[in-house]
Chains A and B, each alone.
Chain A
């Protein structure tokens, strides 16, 4: 009996039982092959790992700022940065849980290229991370074959956009400059980037090589 017709005959409960047990078998474990290589993997798990890596990056950044805040950053802003940090940590831990055994390991980042001793430097860096995150989610949506993961990513994407807009406001930067097209075919659209473009833009923060070759491209 073919699998599909089996489901139709046997009903969902039995089918679920079969699938859940199948789900316990792990065939897509993604681990770095050497200490300096991080392979994101393939298919939907690969795209989720890509999001997981970016959430790790954002959470680590905010944590670093809160650990040693710049002297000229008011405490009201630090309180709001604490909320940003918590949102990113929740995203990170949620994606890790979703990925289960498919998750890439927890990684550490290189923030030495950033100026985190001044408020201006912190806001500039935060803007980079948040704008990049939004563009990454915008570009990643179509890569998911699973509607459930697309919707899950969409729930996070708009929160990243809220963060990004907030950082622009704190920096007193024009709210939408540089992230919403003002001319051409995509006027009024926000930036969307491919995983390759995003990893390239963030490469200086990765003290390892990120392998994206397994990720879907369309």
Chain B
């Protein structure tokens, strides 16, 4: 059995095969059977029907579209932290190391805005004319952190959802230097994940209510008070499953499919899932008016 070879070959025909295989139960059990060297004859039919499905519905296809989408999210995040740091309602609680961390995160988001703007040049979309209105997001410290967690986890899912759409050989000149756009996207992606983990850790602190059931990683699709849609499935679900997803790389259930039994919490937490731009944009518009 050589899953690697099979998937690599299938992907030459269908670039989305990995996603499709992961979430089509019939194809999954077929591949599972492969690993036990069973049902070899029947399997290709199931696999074939799996990758005949319609392509994904992510509406972004060109690099500028992806970059402008990322730019909107970064502008939103920057504005969110900037407003939080200036909010009178948070001056008594957002203090000390917590304030320093949020200031650092704000600086990162601004750097991301600047880099994306530079990369886009004259193709950069204008910032929303009236800025971002986050409503009552800054009324309390725990409430602020809840929204922050939602935005950061959404950001991680957004970048992950686009990574495969960025040509790996796209090396534009930004600020006089050649950069690899995919690597830059992955570098920002991991910064957003560090932000998300740190915000989650802050929520475990006493000021935020000592919420010890919140972890730096995402167990199941636990929303921890954030909107459930942030951790739910996107569109199409086969490409963008919920964070509770247990199927990876053609194995239908990693909790039981790797020879040893693992908990569903550990399996779901061990993999973050991408999200399509339509769902991400809807989350953004539910979080802020712009």
Assign chain A's interface to a size class: 35 or more
B55 interface residue per 8 A CB criterion: no
Return the CB mask of B1-44 against A: 1 if under 8 Å, else 0.
11111111111111111110000000000000001000010011
- A158 with B8: CB separation less than 8 A: no
B168 interface residue per 8 A CB criterion: yes
> Which residues of chain B are within 8 angstroms of A165 by Cβ–Cβ distance?
193-198, 201, 216
> Which residues of chain B are within 8 angstroms of A13 by Cβ–Cβ distance?
44-45, 48-49, 52
Would you give 20 A-B contacts (Cβ < 8 Å), ordered by A? A13-B45, A24-B5, A28-B5, A80-B215, A83-B269, A137-B186, A139-B183, A149-B18, A154-B186, A156-B271, A161-B189, A162-B216, A162-B272, A166-B217, A169-B197, A175-B194, A185-B177, A188-B114, A188-B191, A192-B186
> Which residues of chain B are within 8 angstroms of A146 by Cβ–Cβ distance?
7-8, 11
- A23 with B6: CB separation less than 8 A: yes
Return the CB mask of B223-234 against A: 1 if under 8 Å, else 0.
000000000000
Return the CB mask of A1-30 against B: 1 if under 8 Å, else 0.
000000100011111110111111110100
**Residues A58-87 near B (CB distance < 8 A):** 80, 83, 86-87
> Which residues of chain A are within 8 angstroms of B112 by Cβ–Cβ distance?
188
- B194 with A189: CB separation less than 8 A: no
> Which residues of chain B are within 8 angstroms of A57 by Cβ–Cβ distance?
none
Q: How far is A174 from B101 in the complex, measured between Cα atoms in Å?
A: 8
Q: How far is A153 from B13 in the complex, measured between Cα atoms in Å?
A: 21
**Given A98-B4, A138-B190, A158-B272, residue A20 in contact with residue B249 (CB < 8 A):** no
Q: Which residue of B lies closest to A90 (CB)?
A: B270
> Which residues of chain A are within 8 angstroms of B192 by Cβ–Cβ distance?
158
Contact check: which of A87, A90, A141 meets B182 at CB < 8 Å?
A141
Contact check: which of A98, A137, A151 meets B3 at CB < 8 Å?
A98
The winner among B110, B177, B269 for most chain A CB atoms within 10 A is B269
**Given A12-B52, A159-B217, A169-B198, residue A45 in contact with residue B190 (CB < 8 A):** no
- A188 with B198: CB separation less than 8 A: no
Interface residues in chain A, defined as those with a beta carbon under 8 Å from any beta carbon in chain B: 7, 11-17, 19-26, 28, 44-45, 48, 80, 83, 86-87, 89-91, 93-94, 97-102, 134, 137-139, 141-152, 154-166, 168-169, 174-176, 179-180, 182, 185-192, 218
Q: Which residue of B lies closest to A27 (CB)?
A: B5
**Given A87-B217, A165-B216, residue A100 in contact with residue B5 (CB < 8 A):** yes
Q: Which residue of B lies closest to A103 (CB)?
A: B4
> Which residues of chain A are within 8 angstroms of B187 by Cβ–Cβ distance?
138, 186, 189-192
- B4 with A102: CB separation less than 8 A: yes
Q: Which residue of B lies closest to A151 (CB)?
A: B164
Total chain B interface residues with beta-carbon distance under 8 A: 90
> Which residues of chain B are within 8 angstroms of A190 by Cβ–Cβ distance?
187-188, 190-191, 194
- A100 with B2: CB separation less than 8 A: yes
B184 interface residue per 8 A CB criterion: yes
> How many residue pairs bridge A and B at CB < 8 Å?
280
Q: Which residue of A lies closest to B107 (CB)?
A: A188
- B274 with A154: CB separation less than 8 A: yes
**Given A16-B51, A146-B11, residue A26 in contact with residue B2 (CB < 8 A):** yes
Q: How far is A145 from B9 in the complex, measured between Cα atoms in Å?
A: 12
Interface residues in chain B, defined as those with a beta carbon under 8 Å from any beta carbon in chain A: 1-19, 35, 40, 43-45, 47-49, 51-52, 100-101, 104-105, 107-112, 114-115, 156, 160, 163-164, 168-169, 174-175, 177, 179-180, 182-184, 186-198, 201, 215-217, 248-249, 251, 254, 257-260, 262-263, 266-267, 269-274
> Which residues of chain B are within 8 angstroms of A89 by Cβ–Cβ distance?
262
- B198 with A23: CB separation less than 8 A: no
> Which residues of chain A are within 8 angstroms of B197 by Cβ–Cβ distance?
161-166, 169
Q: Which residue of B lies closest to A91 (CB)?
A: B270
Q: How far is A149 from B249 in the complex, measured between Cα atoms in Å?
A: 9
Q: How far is the CB of A102 from chain B (nearest CB, A)?
A: 5
Contact check: which of B9, B108, B267 meets A22 at CB < 8 Å?
B9
Q: How far is A146 from B15 in the complex, measured between Cα atoms in Å?
A: 8
> Which residues of chain B are within 8 angstroms of A145 by Cβ–Cβ distance?
168
